[in-house]
Amino acid sequence: MVARIGFVAPIVVYLVLFFGYPLVSNITMAMREFTAASFYTGEAPFVGFENYAAVIGDPVFGTALLNTAVFTIASLAFQFAIGLGLAVFFQRYFPLNGVLRSLLLLPWLLPLVVSGTVWRWIYDQEYGVLNQVLLGAGVIDTAMPWLSSTSMALTAVTVANIWVGIPFNMVILYGGLQGIPAQLYEAAALDGAGPWKRFSAVTWPLLRPVSAVVLMLGLVYTLKVFDVIMVLTQGGPANATQTLTTWSYSLSFQDLDFGAGAATGNMLILLALVFAVFYLRSTRQSAGAAAREAPRRRVPRLPRGRSATGGARASVAAAGEPSATEQERS
């Protein structure tokens, strides 16, 4: 028994040191006036909930919260819809299917800084290809300041993020579709169901558990998107693309007000936690279906998820989890 514990002891110590301790220190930090000087003097007076009050009272807070909501909801909706469309399309057999499908994963594996940089070049006001094409086609008659206009920047950033997240949605949903027994489609076809009817009566209901997993994971991961926004706009112009994540960064590492940054971060955790709980409950409820069907076998071994940074990581865990426990029990 002692020897057996020796195998897991390092990971437990690791979790406590590298997740537990930082999390606790983040909570206490948020209750102190913690500035750059605190690192040298060690003095950080206790201020209770003042940091939270200051953060919530800041006019940027409302903007950041709204931006986070718009960015997250729009990203999820489009990533999911496009991902599902592609998954359905690639369900059917045709030559080169596998090669093309794996090529589609490329945007998802690139460092986000690289993707962000490419989009910044595409959006460039003077020389970017987007403006050049739109001008050439006569859609617009002056070059658009995609990233430097307060009214367009959030949309531009969201579009780039949608592009990053499509492969993740496609892969997981494709796995889900593969898990739907072909007999159901044959039976539906025999009953005279057309393509749309087959989708709405067979695909959609049976895909629901997997859809829930994708959406919840996407949500948790989109909340913490950082790289794409930093490279494209750094939260600007005039906070037009500031989200809770980027704002927390700028409070801590630019204003050097670590207490306020920690407070914002803790609120972000709370948000993520609320959705995580929803997610875990929805997977538990549909554990039977979800685990027996698609994700069990396919998701765990497919190249990684990264709606923003690391999507399928948790889905691997989540989806692999119930099936594994089932096996142990049986």
Partner 1 sequence: MAVHMRVRRAFRTVIAIMIVGVLLFPLYWMVNASLQPSSALLETPPRWFPVGGTLDGYRQALQSQGRPLINSMVIAAGTVLLTLVLSVPAAYALSRFRLPGAGALLFALLLVQMIPGIVMANSLYAVMNQAGILGTHAALILADSTLAVPFAVLILRAFMVTVPAELGEAAMVDGAGQARILWSVILPVSRNAVITAGLFGFLFAWADFLFAVTLNSDDRIMPVTVGIYRFIGAHTANWNGVMATGVIASIPAAILIIAAQRYVAAGVTGGALKD
Under rule CB under 8 A, which residues in 62-81 are in contact with partner 1?
none
Identify residues 4-33 at the interface with partner 1 (CB under 8 A). Answer: 4-8, 10-12, 14-15, 18-19, 21-23, 25-26, 29
Question: Among 154, 180, 229, 268, which residue sits at the site for partner 1 (rule: CB under 8 A)?
Answer: 268
Q: Does 214 bind partner 1 (CB under 8 A)?
A: no
Q: Does 270 bind partner 1 (CB under 8 A)?
A: no
Scanning 57-65, 144-152, 185-193, 292-300 for contacts with partner 1 by CB under 8 A, the matching segment is 292-300
Question: Among 226, 236, 289, 292, which residue sits at the site for partner 1 (rule: CB under 8 A)?
Answer: 226
Q: Which one-letter amino acid corresponds to residue 14?
A: Y
**Identity of the residue, 206 or 308, whose beta carbon is nearer to partner 1 in the bound complex:** 308
For the CB of residue 88, give the shortest distance to partner 1 in the complex, in Å: 12
197/190 Cα distance (integer angstroms): 12
Give the contact letters, 112-141, x = binds to partner 1 (CB under 8 A), - = no: xxxx-xxxxxx-x-xx-x--x---x-----
**Alpha carbon separation from 229 to 52, 149, 234, 270 (Å, rounded):** 24, 15, 6, 22
143/4 Cα distance (integer angstroms): 66
**Identity of the residue, 47 or 201, whose beta carbon is nearer to partner 1 in the bound complex:** 47
* 154 Cβ contact list (under 8 Å, min separation 6): 67, 70, 71, 240, 241
> Residues 236, 218, 116, 18: is their CA dihedral positive or negative?
positive
Identify residues 227-246 at the interface with partner 1 (CB under 8 A). Answer: 227, 230-231, 245
Number of residues that bind partner 1 (CB under 8 A): 99
Question: Among 272, 278, 289, 292, which residue sits at the site for partner 1 (rule: CB under 8 A)?
Answer: 272
Question: Per this entry, what is the length of the chain?
Answer: 330
Neighbours of 243 (CB within 10 A): 29
**Identity of the residue, 115 or 203, whose beta carbon is nearer to partner 1 in the bound complex:** 115
* 151 Cβ contact list (under 8 Å, min separation 6): 240
**Identity of the residue, 208 or 297, whose beta carbon is nearer to partner 1 in the bound complex:** 297
Work out the burial of residue 292: count CB atoms within 10 Å of its CB; fewer than 13 is exposed, 13-18 middle, 19 or more buried: middle
